[in-house]
Amino acid sequence: MAEQKMVNGVNVTELFNTIDLIKKNPDIAKFKFRATNKWINGTHNRATIKDFYGALKEDNSRKPMVYELDEPPVLLGKNEGSNPVEYLLVALSGCLTTSLVAHASAKGIKIKGVQSRYEGEIDLRGFLGISEDVQVGYQNIRVYFKIDADVSQEQKEEMIKMAQKYSPVFNTITKSVPVSVQLDK
């Protein structure tokens, strides 16, 4: 068995093996991720993540992961969980971080720590239907990274550029992605 090169907890040997396999058969890279949601009451609902399709097969091996969504009282909820636009920031934070760490690891850059904070502005006149001129979604999101690694400031700047370039959630938010919504027949 070949020795596995680990950088920052990322198995870089396996990462490069995967890339080689995908170059031979691009279908390996085609993934389908899924969620289900059940309304509970008012602004409270519950999402579940479990199965996905990827690397040419269905994966049903994970236990269900359940997430409560609700609004704070000022938005008519009861704080049963974070609200949907906050979960979007959770998604963005995880994706930029993983993208940063994976691409730095592939380059052999050792990281001691990565922290980041996120702030998104939203004008709820859009959601409430008060004004058609107001954007319904986030108007903008600002992200600040702290990277602890023995590299230059320029290399840290390069790391956050790579994070943005390769992060699926960042690219889903900053570009326009089609979402079809229909009644289940």
Q: Which of 54, 58, 107, 110 binds its own copies (CB under 8 A)?
A: 54
Contact present, 116 and 143 (Cβ < 8 Å) = yes
Angle at which helix 84-106 crosses helix 12-24, to 10 degrees, equals 90
Binding status of residue 142 toward its own copies by CB under 8 A: yes
Characterise 76 by phi-psi region: left (phi > 0), alpha (psi -120 to 50), beta (else): left
Q: Which of 58, 108, 110, 121 binds its own copies (CB under 8 A)?
A: 121
- Residue 173: CB minimum distance to its own copies, A: 5
Binding status of residue 34 toward its own copies by CB under 8 A: yes
With CB under 8 A, what is the number of residues at the site for its own copies? 124
Q: Which of 24, 60, 118, 151 binds its own copies (CB under 8 A)?
A: 118
Contact present, 169 and 163 (Cβ < 8 Å) = no
- Residue 82: CB minimum distance to its own copies, A: 4
Q: Which residues touch 159 (CB under 8 Å, ≥6 apart)?
A: 100, 103, 104, 109, 147, 149, 151
Binding status of residue 4 toward its own copies by CB under 8 A: no
Mark residues 62-91: x for contact with its own copies by CB under 8 A, - for none: x--x-x-x-xx-xxx--x-xxxxxxxxxxx
Binding status of residue 21 toward its own copies by CB under 8 A: no
Contact present, 60 and 75 (Cβ < 8 Å) = no
Within residues 148-177, the interface with its own copies by CB under 8 A covers 153, 156-157, 160, 163-177
Binding status of residue 128 toward its own copies by CB under 8 A: yes
Binding status of residue 120 toward its own copies by CB under 8 A: yes
Question: Contacts from 80-83 at CB under 8 Å and sequence distance 24+?
Answer: 80/40, 80/44, 81/44, 83/43
